[in-house]
A and B are shown apart, each in its own frame.
Chain A
């Protein structure tokens, strides 16, 4: 029987995406007809659109659509929430940042919204081709957003770097998908699952395909050894873009990987492929944390810390089961709150964006701008994984899952590396509270939007840290649902 291409209810299914795509177009129109209006309303409007897309999640119904290639389920809702949260926070920080830098315009927000749509597609695609489609939509938005500070050389450098490397990464993913298709006659997760039930993994084409896919996705994740672009790109990018880039695309890539790994689970039991991922996770944790120690540039430091955090998340994925999926989902939400919060404070530093924003620029911030200082300190403690923050709970979940799955050694290395990471996160707190600002360091400007975004981050970090149960329930149910099919 031939399935109709558009199942009933498809409009509802992709309502959040439709809101964002349409909203992005609207922003462009406003910009085109009245740039002046656009400058004053596009930021708030983008936030409203993102909130509307969040609300639109209520109208989506679970199921598969578009010829079994697009799936709405609990886990996609959890990840959609992560993307939208990241989008809202980044937009709030961007509003005042762009205004201050004089590059305010509607396109910025439109690109951010469309990038979010790309990520939603990656999270929902059951077919690798849909995932790649989403990835490309996302990547094109990122290329432009990175170079948005177009008169600044560093911004252009960031854009070009990400473009050149990203193009290769996409190439790898496409090539790997093609080889998969050659070997298994499918690019769909169901087809792959069917094939891998019996495959013994001895086919060299499969190995090559797997390595290519891991390399491509590894680039998007900034997973060592595919990480070196991250510090340069984050440093040059407009700070709110770096904040968004450091979180949301990683989450989208992770959910895509979860689906792929779940489909391939039988073959992992027969091969040593997962050892490669374990090695990459360990390498990421070691490189990320060790190199972050010597960084004085805040954005570079956060980039290396991000490499380490992806390493932690990969530990959980070494064995795909409901607990580990839930752990990664919760980690992604937590990471969005704390990392965007930290980048957000950096974005408020009133310094020439072409120069590095170093630790010296936040000296004494805890007493010059107590709210920013407190927010930054809280984000650092959360990134370091200290209780009672969300960072502790999520890291605990990751390590608990890993030990449960029998990856005791990797978890142990993770804990050792967490100890290392405390040093550089703590150094930020040291600058915040224990060092006087040097002469001439400007007091960061304050703004309603950024303050609001920081408040969301702080409340979220504490709420998840102290009352994690509702989130656990949601993520746990979603993960069980994902893996039961």
Chain B
């Protein structure tokens, strides 16, 4: 059974079917969208059951020629690095559709269609094992997200949407240039054109080209992550996006950047990655501290959570470039953790914004008394985000810090302050919003949290505890793939397997005019 294709195409089929729904059938559209995404999630469970723990390479592979002339295939596969990211995607989409059941009144049809297409595109990014296919899905995520921010967002939505789009596309088009270049390097070395991700692992690029390509790819992914100082689009996008958009953006889309580092940058440019790891580690550490400090002074809850993302994603990048087993495993786990806890926080901020139409900390206080269930859920999510032992955040951050301490002790020490700062700004948020006297009369009779919002939160909370208590379920499948990745980087960093002739890159069949 081509399970990856089923999971990938189901949302698209549902989106096409939705296009034929009558515009007025509001609940039917939402119900169908939710149904389709739940079915997709259930189908994706078969990926987990079919996944063989202990194998390092791609599993459940599917392969069909797509553009044979250029060696491009419709090739799918999954390994320990991408497994949980796919699951995160299929989990968060129904969560979003469920939580925004009552929040979206404007054009619900287009809203649901956008999220379904986005889900398919994100799954595609994680399961594609062909570089061009990866790129196609990578770009395809932009269009629905652009519409989600721009149509259903806040007051300044258009600025945020365009900024988001332009930042991301600028990076990814440069990456496209690099992709074509690598494909030709492979062709020069082997005589056949191929864009299969693992084929290209064997290409050794000359040091100079490696540096340029490393920066072309890294720029694309660093913008996506986002890494300091390329993060400026993120607060805008998050603040303006509707709740559902923020959840997906923070929960999954940012991970496409860190995933790209793991899947492409490290194995393709091992030497450059090792040489420039200092720079990326420095930037991620700056991001950790800077994001935390800026989050601390935010008067707006959503902006606070957005900046906390900058800080948390810094940990992921730090773990990746520390390049050892523990740190990379921690980094992957932290991607999932961040998706769960930040997704939950954005969801909950959205819940209260729905009711009070303000996100300013100063407008709240003593909410714990008026909305006890809501407060409980919020505090669990905060504690997960802070990294309280027993919840998921702790495991990821601990692995990253323990791993990086072996290779980058100074960076690890500075990054550790990020954990402390996270505790400060998030608990500060909790104290301001939930405790103390009810200062604002309007907060006395807020509608309690609704059934659909609680239902959306339940799976997130369960997973937070599960990962916190028994992370082995999640770490075990990653191990072999991460080990293989490190091997590729460490051995290829010293001796490239296939080195294209230095001059081969310059060869053209009939160069004219010297227009080089």
Chain A interfacial positions (CB closer than 8 Å to B):
265, 268-269, 271-275, 277-278, 318-321, 367, 381, 386-388, 392, 396, 399-400, 403-412, 415, 418-419, 422-423, 426-427, 429-430, 433-435, 468-469, 472-473, 476
**Chain A CB within 8 A of B66 CB:** yes
Contact of A272 among B158, B509, B511, B513 (CB under 8 A): B513
CA distance A269 to B515 in the complex (A): 11
Which residues B150-177 have CB closer than 8 A to chain A? Answer: 150-151, 157-158, 161-162, 165-166, 169-170, 173-174, 176-177
Residue of A269, A408, A426 touching B146 (CB-CB under 8 A): A426
Q: List chain B residues, Cβ under 8 A from A404.
A: 184, 508-509
Count how many pairs of residues, one from A and one from B, have CB atoms less than 8 Å apart in the complex: 124
Name the CB-closest residue of B to A469.
B67
How far is it, in angstroms, between the C-alpha of A430 and the C-alpha of B173 when the chains are bound?
21
> Closest residue of chain B to A405, judged by CB?
B508
**Contact indicator B511/A405 (Cβ below 8 Å):** yes
A–B pairs, 22, beta carbons within 8 Å: A272-B513, A274-B512, A318-B512, A386-B140, A387-B136, A387-B137, A387-B139, A387-B140, A388-B136, A396-B132, A399-B177, A405-B512, A406-B506, A409-B515, A410-B515, A418-B173, A419-B170, A422-B165, A426-B166, A430-B150, A434-B161, A473-B69
Q: Please, how many angstroms separate the alpha-carbon atoms of A404 and B185 in the complex?
A: 10
Which residues in B have their C-beta under 8 angstroms from that of A469? 65-69
Tell me if B510 is interfacial: C-beta within 8 Å of chain A: yes
Q: What CA separation (Å) do A233 and B97 show in the bound complex?
A: 49
* Contact code string B34-73 (vs A, CB < 8 Å = 1, else 0): 0000000000000000000000000000000111111000
B22 at the interface (CB under 8 A from A): no
B166 interface neighbour in A408, A422, A435, Cβ under 8 Å: A422
Cβ of A269: which chain B residues have Cβ within 8 Å of it? Answer: 510, 512
Whether the Cβ atoms of B69 and A472 lie closer than 8 Å is yes
Asked whether A275 and B513 contact (CB < 8 A) given A419-B169, A430-B158, A469-B69, the answer is yes
- Write out, one digit per residue, whether chain B residues 486-516 have a CB within 8 A of any chain A CB (1) or not (0): 0000000000000000000011111111111
Task: Say whether B177 contacts A412, CB under 8 Å.
Answer: yes
Beyond A433-B147, A433-B151, whether A423 also contacts B162 by CB under 8 A is yes
Partner of A278, one of B158, B506, B513: B513
Cβ A386 vs Cβ B509 within 8 A: no
Name the interface size band of chain B. Answer: 35 or more
Q: Judging by beta carbons under 8 Å apart, are A430 and B161 in contact?
A: yes
What residues of chain A lie closer than 8 Å to B135, measured between beta carbons? 387
Q: In the assembled complex, how far is the CB of residue A106 from the closest CB belonging to chain B, in whole angstroms?
A: 39
A196 to B269, CA, bound (A): 45
B514 near A400: Cβ-Cβ < 8 Å? no
Query: Which of B136, B147, B165, B511 touches A406 (beta carbons < 8 Å)?
Result: B511
How far, in whole Å, are A319 and B510 apart by their CA atoms in the complex?
Answer: 7
Residues of A within 8 A of B166 (CB): 419, 422-423, 426
Q: Is the interface of B mostly helix, strand, loop or mixed?
A: helix
List of B residues within 8 angstroms of A405 by Cβ: 508-512
B469 at the A interface (CB under 8 A): no
B181 at the binding interface (Cβ < 8 Å): yes
**A-side contacts of B513, CB under 8 Å:** 268, 271-275, 277-278, 318
Asked if B509 and A321 sit within 8 Å, CB to CB, the answer is: yes
Which residue of A is nearest B508, CB measured? A406
Name the A residues within 8 Å of B279 (CB-CB).
Answer: none
Whose C-beta in chain B lies nearest to the C-beta of A326? B69
Once the chains bind, are A274 and B515 in contact (CB under 8 Å)? yes
CB distance from B514 to the nearest CB of A (A): 7
Q: Which residues of A contact B476 (CB under 8 A)?
A: none
B173 touches A415 (CB 8 A): yes
- Do B509 and A409 touch across chains, with their CB atoms under 8 A apart? no
Contact indicator B143/A381 (Cβ below 8 Å): yes
In the assembled complex, the CB of A394 is this many whole angstroms from the nearest CB of chain B, namely: 12
- Extra inter-chain contacts (13) besides given A386-B143, A415-B173, A419-B173, CB under 8 Å: A319-B508, A319-B510, A386-B140, A392-B139, A405-B512, A406-B506, A406-B508, A409-B515, A409-B516, A411-B177, A423-B162, A433-B147, A476-B69
Q: How far is the CB of A466 from chain B (nearest CB, A)?
A: 9
**A265 touching B170 in the complex, CB below 8 Å, given contacts A433-B150, A434-B150:** no
